[in-house]
Amino acid sequence: MNLSHVLQVSGVSYAYGGGPRVLHDVSLHVGRGEIVGLVGPNGSGKSTLITLIFDLLKLRTGSITIDGAPHRLRSGRQQAQYLSSNDHLPEFLRAAEYLDLLAGLYGSRVDRAAAAALFDRYGMKGRLPHLMEDFSHGMRKKTQLISAFLNRRPLTVIDETLNGIDIEALYLVERELLRMRSEGLGVLLCSHDFSMLERVADRIVFLDFGHVISDVTLDDLRASGRDVAALVMSHLDERTLQ
């Protein structure tokens, strides 16, 4: 166990039922004060890996620790927050109630003034007491993100949650992620937005067909004269020629 890693995935393989493996001996980590971009085509195993991290699928091979604790234990799960790719929020709750519910899962309370300030900053002034059934797709995504910014867990995993938010909000999110990194928090950011990852990520983990193809720092990638798109596309070009 490396205590400098807020997330450690070691030798994880997985198959659904009796089918073929969708993850093959996957190992990766997220350090404290590090933003790691997770990239890969649809079907590469990214969502399966994230689901395993949060113990929503039963891990059969390998190990996963969160902030030094096994991911299945409450002590591990309480150190991480998962923002999913969909916007399936409980519509019968008001936004303030949703934030209270999530904070309660971590044994904390919402700073109402901080929540109101964030809703104002993200273009949703006065919407905290409103039912989320009236929220647009983008507003639901921003509410998810605001919950993570308020809870500030040692590990935040963002699975395509940034899709559907406006440009101004995306700029604010990038600034907040960098602030979280400066506080020693870790972020695993799954996204197809390569340019955004190049602005905020420290490392890129590239997954394809359940294999880790590359695990490279942005500094090393730039030193090689490539960007994230070139890293991914060169592999996909090679794959189609095989």
What does DSSP say about strands 69-70 and 80-83: parallel, antiparallel, or unpaired? unpaired
Residue 2 pLDDT level (bands cut at 50, 70, 90):
low
180-209: b (≥16 Cβ within 10 Å) or e: bbeeebbbbbbbebbebbbebbbbbbbbbb
Above 60 in pLDDT, residue 1?
no
| Alpha-carbon dihedral sign for residues 200, 204, 205, 207 | positive
CATH code, residues 5-89+154-241: 3.40.50.300
Predicted TM-score (pTM) of this structure: 0.94
Query: Which pair of structure tokens corresponds to residue 102?
Result: 């999530």
User: Over the stretch 32-74, which tens digit does the pLDDT of each residue have?
Assistant: 999 999 999 988 999 999 999 999 999 999 999 999 999 999 9
- C-alpha 156/C-alpha 166 separation (Å) is 21
- Amino acid residing at 171: Y
User: Over the stretch 5-15, which tens digit does the pLDDT of each residue have?
Assistant: 999 999 999 99
What are the CA-CA distances from residue 100 to residues 105, 110, 224 (Å)?
Answer: 9, 6, 46
Q: Which of 103-107, 192-196, 200-204 has the highest mean pLDDT?
A: 200-204
